[in-house]
Structure 1
């Protein structure tokens, strides 16, 4: 067994677990680890100027690479700063190993500055949370954490690292990695039962959740959808391209409020959700989203999600990539010639509906192209036309994303990333992690101005590490979504046309000036015809670049 210090053992285990990058912001309790990194060329340290940036970078990196993302933050305040983006990472299912330095245990009883009991702080947003108290336990704890981060349902884990554990030395067995095989094949009897219901359905509807993209099962999902001729929606808050946006059966994301969900589902006689949420809603409603008596088939890698809110007629615990081929086979055996003919009719109907929707969006965008300020739709349409086909698109444009998922040509699992948890500020740093994971691919991030101000320190990291992401800031000088929802209350704000704390003015935020101060060049765009040339200049620059696009902040009607 090798004779190692805790810091050396920790870094060696990380390398064996596939870690190539560590995101972080250090403080005094992290100094042993930083000292260890000085002689560890196998792990590149990406410095963030605030912990939320570090977590969101790691989230994007883990999703885009499929690798374990390591993050290190500074004891109690650092972990506190990280919590908002850790919440998002929990919902995205990113396999992240988050660590925080802790004081030497010889002094913790005295409650030194910045000390607190760290594992309970992280626990609500991670799968496992633990403080290592002996060097002998370090290999077992880190191996367990890595295994747990990857196992279904994947997600972040947390370890507190006391200074004395990192500085201690002894002979250690570093153990080996464990990976739980992810391709869980759904129960055959349940698959057959699902096939029976689907084959008899006259108006089935499908939901493709993020589990489809995470499991690289887009082709398998498309095969089942095509056999049924069923329209496919992504889940209410999709963070991936879980079904090709260009596919004729694709119908866009599910609504996020009760009445339109119910209206949509009333048109169907069977709901089949593959890894989708049922339902993540934005607002309360007196209208129950799920129509009474609508049968539900639910396939998911997470048993918690199955039947969580609505009973499943057939409940299948399984990986989409491993299970959907069995379902396709079962369907082929059960679909009669008449059922296949009906599926062809549904296919044509869905294709026609989406083509009409795209055509209407294009016509509206063209009609709005001459307006000043730029409308959100005309910005989306112009950006889509300028974004390369092989690009990865990161979306945190929030209320200004009209038409994006209909017009964008994303067609594979790692081509599109959206804000899953809802905690804003994710987009700027997540795009950096995604680019680090996919360096050969152009990365374009569409980010609202309010979101950008939560984590604008990301721009410094982009410049410092020369990470070539093109940022398009949707600048409406407001928290538009809050104005929309306050207006819907029909209260004092609506009567007086006064919206408190929702305007980003006096002074206006100069995003190009802010970007330049942090080392990122950029330009102001105020007319629709200027969007595509500016975006192409950014892509050709070979480095990080920011476009401050002034858009209409209108929120009524």
Structure 2
């Protein structure tokens, strides 16, 4: 029986349904009207109307990161596609699987500077894992399915499909290519056993071992994180996480040293500097973690597990590379560890933990309390106390509040912490939050924000209200671009160039103007009541929390310094090497 031809737009919708897509974040325009017409005629896929195309990609990122699925974006040609570039770059840096459908002028007009034409494939080539320009209707269904495979296979990332308007209108038979592998892209997922055995051998003889866990663990899936947690506990080794890896290992576990890197924990950074065997699982040796490359963990043997071969030896030379999916690698590690009945050097490991516990005793997150002004750290402590027993998801904007959230909020499981790590995109948190809320309608979703960063995509409040998404926005308002001001204070002689916001809106009235609820906390005694009201309010809420304008985020490794050259507080204004006893700073 012959298959009836359907339009390209209908082919795309069928392919999305066969890929299990249930929601698209998008914004219509002339070049994608055939596709929007096809969406109108079906009820399987929900469309969320954003207010800016950058927000559409961030929303899809929040959806993807909280579910493990591929996020889907639909934007028009020209400015629609170019507005999505920031989100696509963000997804590429943080390895988030996204398929972005972009409209394009009809094929016969490509290259003629037609209305709303842009070289989308050329523009997005550096900021996507792969991209396509569909020039023939017979290629359409295969390329859509292929895009999903590429986006989620190996190291995940964003894929663009550029769709000329005439391709959307042409007719052809739909073929379901879901589940088919790419003819040339088949990234390895199972490791070389010999390399795993070398890694286990190094771990077995370690005196000062350290697990260094990154976002690749979370990308591998909840089961991989569960296996990793079991393996870390089996070894008894200390474990630190990157900003992107928070939640891959339970934050409250005694083996967890917390976050590592520029604003990481004192004990975490010192352990990374002094360890003799480093087991990197799914992290990419980012510069915000390594600090000064020539002084990075100078005495350690480095094991690096990563699914992306290009990440091996890219920033740091490693001793034992293991290419493969985290879940498969850790499973093989556990099998060998158990088979050999390995017992770590108990005496050496005890001595190592004694040293780590001395570092822990420093309480690197200590700050000067105040009864007059709300400290941002205190605000987050009170927020965490109110939500820790709830099913919560956290997104953030970018800046000081982001680092404080990473320090003071604990995550016991993966996929509950969404932040812009690699690109550091202001404006990420609000649209990412409603992407999470769409995926988890019954859960508590909070965007921890700064007053400067929230303004980047504040128009997305309109989307929250339209779709009745009960996202809570918790603004730590210090009237400054806080991280910029901090660097200007510590590194540029207190020359505060263009970092103060002198014309902020009244966020309570702004929330009300959008049809949401606005609350404000200006005094320490008001904070708990405002948080309680925020959580009890059924719809979207903005909380404007006035915090200390001059508070800096510590600990801090100054740019270009080593892990043992940390600033631990306001009394420590210059990086100084730490003594062998670890007792020089503050």
Please give the per-residue CA displacement for 1:130-151, whole angstroms capped at 9, x wherever unaligned.
1111211111111111110111
Which of 206, 211, 215 is matched with 1:210 structurally?
Answer: 215
Cα offset, 1:410, TM superposition: 1.6
Which of 18, 21, 25 is matched with 1:19 structurally?
Answer: 21
Please give the per-residue CA displacement for 1:492-529, whole angstroms capped at 9, x wherever unaligned.
xx2xx441211111x23322222222222111111233
Give the aligned partner of residue 523 of structure 1: 519
Change (3 A) 1:240 1:35: farther
Give the aligned partner of residue 413 of structure 1: 414
Which of 288, 296, 302 is matched with 1:296 structurally?
Answer: 302
Give the aligned partner of residue 6 of structure 2: 4
Gaps of 5+ in 2: 553-569, 571-586
1:188 aligns with 2:187: no
Give the aligned partner of residue 534 of structure 1: 530
Cα offset, 1:415, TM superposition: 2.1
Give the aligned partner of residue 383 of structure 1: 383
Please give the per-residue CA displacement for 1:453-501, whole angstroms capped at 9, x wherever unaligned.
11111211111111111110111111111122223334xxx2xx44121
Shifted more, 174-183 versus 117-126: the winner is 174-183
Q: Distance in 2 between matches of 1:89 and 1:338?
A: 39
Provide the secondary structure at the position in 2 that maps to 1:455. helix
Contact kept in structure 2, 1:393 and 1:415, CA below 8 Å? yes
Gaps of 5+ in 1: none
Give the aligned partner of residue 499 of structure 2: 502
Change (3 A) 1:335 1:403: farther
Contact kept in structure 2, 1:6 and 1:138, CA below 8 Å? yes
Q: Distance in 1 between matches of 2:13 and 2:233?
A: 47
Cα offset, 1:43, TM superposition: 1.0
Please give the per-residue CA displacement for 1:228-262, whole angstroms capped at 9, x wherever unaligned.
33221112x4264222111111112211389x898
Contact kept in structure 2, 1:18 and 1:67, CA below 8 Å? no
Q: Distance in 2 between matches of 1:147 and 1:408?
A: 34
Q: Distance in 2 between matches of 1:179 and 1:445?
A: 37
CA RMSD, Structure 1 to Structure 2 (Å) = 2.7
1:238 aligns with 2:244: yes
Give the aligned partner of residue 371 of structure 1: 372
Which of 118, 123, 126 is matched with 1:124 structurally?
Answer: 126
Cα offset, 1:388, TM superposition: 4.2
Give the aligned partner of residue 331 of structure 1: 337
Which of 537, 540, 546 is matched with 1:544 structurally?
Answer: 540
Cα offset, 1:277, TM superposition: 2.1
- Tell me the number of residue pairs that the alignment of Structure 1 and Structure 2 aligns: 543
Change (3 A) 1:93 1:206: same
Please give the per-residue CA displacement for 1:353-393, whole angstroms capped at 9, x wherever unaligned.
55x466x75xx56x625231x11111111111111422112
Contact kept in structure 2, 1:240 and 1:417, CA below 8 Å? no
Provide the secondary structure at the position in 1 that maps to 2:211. strand
Q: Distance in 2 between matches of 1:112 and 1:273?
A: 50
Give the aligned partner of residue 252 of structure 1: 258
Q: Distance in 2 between matches of 1:347 and 1:219?
A: 23
Contact kept in structure 1, 2:263 and 2:403, CA below 8 Å? no
Provide the secondary structure at the position in 2 that maps to 1:166. helix
Change (3 A) 1:113 1:423: same
Which of 246, 262, 277 is matched with 1:270 structurally?
Answer: 277
Change (3 A) 1:5 1:196: same
Contact kept in structure 2, 1:226 and 1:347, CA below 8 Å? no
Cα offset, 1:426, TM superposition: 0.5
Q: Distance in 2 between matches of 1:65 and 1:447?
A: 22
Which of 421, 436, 443 is matched with 1:434 structurally?
Answer: 436
Cα offset, 1:193, TM superposition: 0.8
Give the aligned partner of residue 41 of structure 1: 43
Give the aligned partner of residue 202 of structure 2: 197
Contact kept in structure 2, 1:239 and 1:419, CA below 8 Å? no
Change (3 A) 1:203 1:335: farther
Please give the per-residue CA displacement for 1:169-213, whole angstroms capped at 9, x wherever unaligned.
233434333368999232211111111111111001111111112
